[in-house]
Structure 1
Amino acid sequence: GVYVPRFFEPEYHEDGRLSAIRPLLPGHRRVFRRVVADLDKAPYPTAPVVPTLQTVHDRLSVEIQRGCTAGCRFCQAGMIYRPTRERSPETVLHLVEEGLKSTGYEGVSLMSLSAGDYSFINSILRHTNEAYERQMISVQVPSLRVKTLTRDVALEVARVKKGGFTIAPEAGSQRMRDAINKDVTD
């Protein structure tokens, strides 16, 4: 179930368009998509390598869900990683605890294509802050859709110290939002 480019050769039409991808090894006819159905049972690194120099994203990253519910027309990742699957709150909190113990990071990012769509985002933020606010460990939630940024999320992100969240840009006009399947109005 793994595509290895060197085992395949692309073939092109005269005008340069791709016509086929030919396997170079016998028996390699087709690559089939694999989906991790249960993220709680999937292995996840609890002791990631920590660089010896400061990086831009100098914090622990924990994937809280995979996939996206929105179906925006421009988003390839939202289509490729379907269906949406969530880690349980217990698993997320365990990964945060183990990751912080093994790395010494002073921040955690709760990662997904749209963290605000995670069913337990408020409780995870609250529990993480309660567990680590004495150590001044901040929580960030990159990639929020406008509709999922709530007052509770903003307050929890700002609770310990200056945290961060990213609001995904939508579009400049209602016509454009409708065209790209964004469910947001003026």
Structure 2
Amino acid sequence: MAKLQPAINYTFYDPLGHNEPVDSPYEYIRSKYLRCPEKTNIVFRFQHSFRFDHNKLNGYSLNDFDVKAIITITNNRTGNCIYTKEIPLSETSGYEDLYLPSIEIPQGFYTAKLSLKGVVNGVSNSSKLDVLKWLMYNPMVYLHLNSVIIDNRNISIPNNSSDADTKRLTFISIA
């Protein structure tokens, strides 16, 4: 029976039971581990909100800074990055969603990482760096598991009305 109906060993989970942050004034990183059997396809939904008080830009504009989210999936055994996507962030009026194309992931263990990075465009100075530090606290970004298909079978992803602890395991957040 096991050969006819093999177990699906798919998980998306926090390292060491919690999401360990890696933070600096200009970069925030959150990650989760991903264990995939053969023939795994995942669709992620990237969701973000970037609103701020323009008066706190001290005369600068958002064009003076480059703030972006970076999504990477890396094989833990080989260190090879199998997927990367950079998403430049611009001001939003609320939450905006971006559905990423289906990613085919070979069997193995991976780290799915969501990074928020900011740099000064042009000449940098202490005033611009202070504004960038403040600006980096404003984006709220999430990487949601939208759908998982393993060997042509849909894997159930808890929805918003599901148990909160289970739902928490279906996304990575920097907020």
Shorter-chain-normalised TM-score: which range?
under 0.3
Q: Which has the higher contact order (CA 8 A, sep 6+)?
A: 2
- Bigger share in helix: 1
If the length of structure 2 is used for normalisation, what is the TM-score? 0.23
If the length of structure 1 is used for normalisation, what is the TM-score? 0.22
- Bigger share in strand: 2
